[in-house]
Homo-oligomer: A and B are copies of this chain.
Amino acid sequence: MASGIRGPDGGGAKLIDVARLANCSPATASRVLNGNPRVGQDERERVMRAAAELGYVPNGSARALRSTRSRLVGAIIPTLDHAIYATMVDGLQAKLAEKGVSVIISTSHYDLDLELEQTRLLVERGAESIVLVGSTHSAQTMSLLDQKQVDYVFTYTSSVAEAGAAIGFDNEKAGAAAARFLLDLGHKRLGMIAGITTNNDRAKGRLDGFLSELAARGLDPAAVPVVEGAYKVESGRQAMRSLMDVPQPPTAVFCGSDILATGAIKYCHEQGIAVPGEVSVVGFDNLEIAELTSPELTTLEVPAREMGNLAADYILAPAAQKRYLRQTELPIRIIVRDSTGAAPSQAH
Which chain A residues have a beta carbon within 8 Å of chain B's beta carbons?
8-9, 11-12, 55, 57-62, 64-65, 70, 72, 79-81, 83, 86-87, 89-90, 93-94, 97, 100, 102-107, 118, 120-126, 144, 147-149, 233, 259, 262, 266, 269, 288-289, 291-294
Contacts and interface: CB of A to CB of B under 8 A. Distances in A.
B80 A70 contact: no
Question: This chain: how many copies in the complex?
Answer: 2
A102 B80 contact: no
A144 B12 CA distance: 10
Contact of A70 (B61, B259, B293): B61
Given A65-B65, A80-B89, A147-B9, A125 B105 contact: no
B57 A120 contact: yes
A141 to B, nearest CB: 13
Contact of A59 (B105, B126, B259): B126
Contact of A106 (B93, B233, B293): B93
Contacts of A61: 60-62, 64-65, 70, 126
Given A8-B147, A81-B83, 18 more contacts: A9-B147, A11-B149, A55-B147, A57-B144, A57-B148, A60-B61, A60-B124, A60-B125, A61-B64, A72-B104, A80-B87, A89-B105, A94-B107, A97-B118, A100-B121, A288-B289, A289-B292, A292-B293
